[in-house]
């Protein structure tokens, strides 16, 4: 099963179409940290992280991990050890914090871009996350909560996302 980006504002899976937003500067084959572009390619998906204090555990076949206050994702291009990985938040490392005041990361699925043989500076923290306004992202794919919850019911750990 594959989630397909049909155009810059539509995701398709099976017969379902979802309005979405992507990186502010569009798609790229040559991604680098901070370019505000969504990487082109086909990628596997990570686990679902969710705010247990705000939401019930959703219906999905993905592994569900409650977000803790100290969870984050390293986007520090100086950290060979932690770059583009889930971390315990530290003042020593630049990172995206999962536990936010807004609800953007109430549900979040890492897209496995630049995760296996990580290249420093090639881009990190590419997620499927929530949006209310469909404003362009920093490189992620964003959906409304109701659509995200439907998507969760359709996908599993073998699902890929094709960004083209």
pLDDT of residue 17: 97
Sort strands 160-163 and 2-7 into parallel, antiparallel or unpaired: parallel
Q: What is the mean pLDDT of residues 128-143?
A: 97
Identify whether the C-beta of residue 136 lies closer than 8 Å to the C-beta of residue 8.
Answer: no
The matching CATH number, chosen from 3.40.50.300, 1.20.1250.20, 2.40.50.140, 2.40.440.10, for 2-163 is 2.40.440.10
Q: How confident is the model at residue 80 (pLDDT cuts 50, 70, 90)?
A: very high
Q: What is the mean pLDDT of residues 129-151?
A: 98
pLDDT in tens, 32-70: 999 999 999 999 999 999 999 999 999 999 999 999 999
Q: Is the pTM of this model over 0.95?
A: yes
């Amino acid at each position: 099963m594959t989630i397909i980006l049909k155009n810059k504002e539509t995701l398709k899976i099976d017969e379902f179409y979802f309005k979405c937003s992507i990186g502010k500067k569009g798609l790229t084959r040559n991604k680098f940290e901070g370019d505000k572009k969504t990487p082109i390619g086909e990628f596997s998906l990570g686990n679902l992280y969710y705010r247990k204090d705000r939401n019930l555990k959703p219906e999905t076949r993905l592994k569900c991990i409650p977000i803790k206050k100290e969870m984050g994702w390293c986007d520090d291009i100086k950290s060979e050890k932690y770059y583009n990985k889930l971390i315990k938040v530290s003042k020593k490392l630049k990172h995206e914090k999962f536990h936010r005041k807004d609800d953007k990361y109430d549900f979040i699925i890492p897209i496995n871009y630049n995760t296996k043989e990580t290249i420093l500076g090639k881009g990190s923290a590419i997620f499927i996350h929530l949006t209310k306004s469909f404003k362009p992202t920093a490189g992620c794919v964003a959906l409304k909560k109701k659509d995200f919850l439907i998507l969760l019911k359709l996908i599993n750990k073998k699902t890929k996302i094709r960004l083209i």
